[in-house]
Amino acid sequence: MTARIGLIGLGTMGAMLALNIAEKGFPIAVWNRTTQVTRDFAAGAGELSSRIVPTESLEELVAAIAKPRAIILMVPAGPAVDQQIEALRPLLDPEDLIIDAGNANFHDTDRRAAAASGYRFLGMGVSGGEEGARHGPSIMGGGAREDWDRVAPVLEAISAKYEGIPCATHMGPGGAGHFVKAVHNGIEYADMQMIAEIYGVMRDGLSMKASAVGEVFSAWNAGPLQSYLVEISAAVAKAVDGEKPMLDVILDKAGQKGTGRWTVIEAQNLSSPIPVIEAAVMARNVSARLDERRRGEAEFGAAPMALPPGAVTVAQLEQAMIAGKILCYAQGFDLIVAAGHEFGWDLPLPAIARVWREGCIIRSSMLNDMATALAENPGRNLMLAPFFAAHLKASVPGLRSVVAAGVAHGLAMPALSQGLAWFDMMRTGRSTANMIQGQRDFFGAHGFERLDQPGTGLHGPWGGHMA
Ligand code: 6PG
């Protein structure tokens, strides 16, 4: 049997992707560094094994694939990808295509795409975890359009579908696909953090049991907040370990593999404000400092946290989350626009929202509305698109009440409060940056513009203090 495609790396994600590809009718050749892993995978593939070609050397893998070949790499992001490319390179023909489907840093993907010689290269962001990989991930491709087109039939077939439309799209050249995946992950961090903050208000502010929190999330999942992350948060909150809620036995120390951080670093490089995502990454870092937090609590005492009766309603919490989510996505899409300008990518905003509607971790019903709003209002920040502007007008008062109660009673809500601060800044026509400009001119003669006089490089009457 000649394979239509090859796959290297049979870890959880690679194995699931390979089964998905085989199930959609494409014969696939697979290889793993440890041969036993390959053998076990093939032996466990059941009826799909008829479309799986297990191979025990790279030469065997390459020989098993129809020309021009396409080979998916599903190995840990970083040096392992470069090593794998190096090992494959001498075995490939110029038209053969390597597809890196790991969570690569998009700068690495750009570099690898530029260095590809004697083979072709695509970088592809894949979201949806193990389940997604097996039954339909969201796929964000980057590289040459013609290379994408060559493998699109396979990728579209294995991807998640939203009302029959494949969630697999070519985003642009080089690292564009992995960049969009990084923004996805930044938003993923922010969505998760906002849910955790609201859970905190319910747990510490309203003394609600985990099961009751779960019921609230389940109810929200039937409304505007319908999303995979709210759905699984309900399940997490309702789960028990014997008598105890699971949430009460899980250590409050969050892990991370770094993709959220990449998003924040890139946003800083691009001077593109994404404060909700930044706060979410910061919160993970603070969560990891468990000993210091415990020392802090011993020194200062825990904040009071308990809210007086009626201070915050569950309906306000829902509004806060709706507002926070819109603001976070507005920032995320803004970052994508900034990157598009900087890197010369024509990133298709509505198509990005569409590809996130199913399969990926941040999938939600709101993304369909975002896709529509972005298509109807090209070049406009999402928060100013009429549909979302109306939603913000209705939901920001709830966000403000929740954040105000949190500030008053010591319930930290970094992501939600950053969302609110950003909103307030973005609707302030006359900010306080005139003071910053005055300071800069005072100590560094950096100059400023005047409201009543055109022209730059003007200076203030700082006298002998002028630098
Ligand atoms: C996805 C996820 C996934 C991510 C991990 C966890 O879209 O399927 O974003 O790619 O790697 O789920 O990431 P952290 O360890 O950084 O939380």
Quick: pLDDT tens for 76-88.
999 999 999 999 9
Task: Look at residue 310 and tell me whether its pLDDT is greater than 90.
Answer: yes
Per-residue confidence at 56, pLDDT binned at 50, 70, 90?
A: very high
Catalytic residue among 95, 131, 181, 197: 181
For the domain bounded by 433-465, which CATH number is listed?
1.20.5.320
185 annotated to bind ligand: yes
Per-residue pLDDT at 242: 97
Average pLDDT, the chain: 97
Residue of the CA atom closest to atom 9 of ligand 1: 185
Tell me: is residue 136 an annotated ligand-binding position: no
Q: Which ligand 1 atom is the nearest neighbour of the CA of 129? A: 8
- pLDDT at position 465, please? 55
Global pTM value: 0.96
Q: Is residue 467's pLDDT more than 60?
A: no
| Mean pLDDT in residue range 101-111 | 97
Which stretches of 358-465 are DSSP H helices? 366-376, 386-409, 414-426, 433-444
Closest CA to 172 of 183, 186, 161, 160: 183
Q: Does the pLDDT at position 295 exceed 90?
A: yes
What was the pLDDT predicted at 97? 98
Res. 67 pLDDT band, cuts 50 70 90? very high
Contact 63, 57 (CB under 8 A): no
- Please indicate whether residue 181 is annotated as part of the active site: yes
What per-residue confidence (pLDDT) applies to 463? 81
Q: What is the ipTM for the molecules in this complex?
A: 0.97
In the residue annotation, 188 being an active-site residue is answered as: yes
> Domain residues of the chain, as ranges?
5-174, 181-426, 433-465
Looking at the CA of residue 361, tell me the nearest atom of ligand 1.
7
Stretch 419-437: mean pLDDT: 98
Assess whether pLDDT exceeds 70 at residue 144: yes
Residue 146: other Cβ atoms inside 10 A: 8
Cβ(419)–Cβ(275) under 8 Å? yes
What does residue 324 show for φ and ψ, rounded to 5 degrees?
Answer: -60, -40
Residues written for the chain = 467
- Contact between 22 and 41 under an 8 Å Cβ cutoff? The reply is no
Instruction: For domain 5-174, give the CATH number.
Output: 3.40.50.720
Mean pLDDT of 408-421: 98
Largest CA distance in the chain: 85
CATH architecture of 181-426: Orthogonal Bundle (1.10)
Q: 127: closest CA among 70, 83, 69, 167?
A: 167
C-alpha count within 13 angstroms, C-beta hemisphere, residue 150: 22
Strands 28-31 and 52-54: parallel
> How far does the centroid of ligand 1 lie from the alpha carbon of residue 363, in Å?
14
Cis peptide before 68 (omega within 30 of 0): yes
